[in-house]
Amino acid sequence: MSLDLIIDINKVNIFQAENLILSDVTFSISKGEFVYIIGKVGSGKSSIIKTLNAELPLRSGQAMVAGYDLAAIKRKQIPYLRRRLGIIFQDFQLLSDRNIFDNLAFVLRATGWKNSKEINDRIVEVLERVDLNYKGYKLPHQLSGGEQQRVVIARALLNNPDIMLADEPTGNLDPETSEDILQLLLEISNSGRAVLMATHNYNLLKKFPARTIKCERGKTTEVDQTAEIDFSSPMD
């Protein structure tokens, strides 16, 4: 695995329980690269992300993620792998009974941060990064959907990850807000982090083209960026 490769997947078969979802998955992603995974609902996009964060165990093939060998990873190593990953969910998964600052502080304390000033400084830093400097005192329900997704991105940035894994991050957002979130993810990628974004939103792909991996009929294929992607058939 070269120094710049942060994800290197080779001939991986992905299962959900006993069901084979995708076979012979092979791709690599370098630091600072932005990559889409596209495909219809149920085509295996989320299963790839769950394999990369060791939620789904690797049964066959080779996979190196942020320096960890997923074929040989031990259960006690998985939390350390996940600290190298920033995970962004479609449905936010924020704690509804505490404000944004306390949501972020909870994550930092859960991942070993103890110094209150360092926790405070890091939260201020990530909230500034996502343009929510003055929203830390608000509860999640007091924010718009786009603002809540920015909090989720801030949460994903807390431990300074090498890789951002975004699973349908714009799935619950209107088109304008979706574009804002994608612009933010592209900025994060340009700062040196790899970003892998699962989506079935073809409009975003057309407006913000980038390297694209397609899940279809149990396989993954790299979409030729010089070719026109067929936008005529709906993704979902």
Would 128 be classed as within a structural domain? no
Q: Is residue 106 part of a domain?
A: no
Neighbours of 176 (CB within 10 A): 8
Q: Of 91, 85, 103, 99, which Cα lies nearest the Cα of 157?
A: 85
According to the model, what pLDDT value does residue 202 have?
86
Domain range spanning residue 37? Answer: 1-84+204-229
Taking the C-alpha atoms of residue 106 and residue 17, their distance in angstroms, rounded to an integer, is: 32
Q: Looking at the domain assignment, is residue 10 inside a domain?
A: yes
Q: What is the CATH number of the domain that holds 80?
A: 3.40.50.300
In a domain, 96, yes or no: no
Q: Divide the 236 residues of the chain into consecutive groups of 10 and give the mean pLDDT of each group.
A: 82 92 95 94 91 93 95 93 90 89 95 94 95 93 93 94 93 90 94 93 90 94 69 46
Split into its structural domains, the chain has a count of 1
The per-residue pLDDT for 3 is 60
Which of 210, 67, 79, 84 lies closest to 159, judged by CA?
Answer: 84
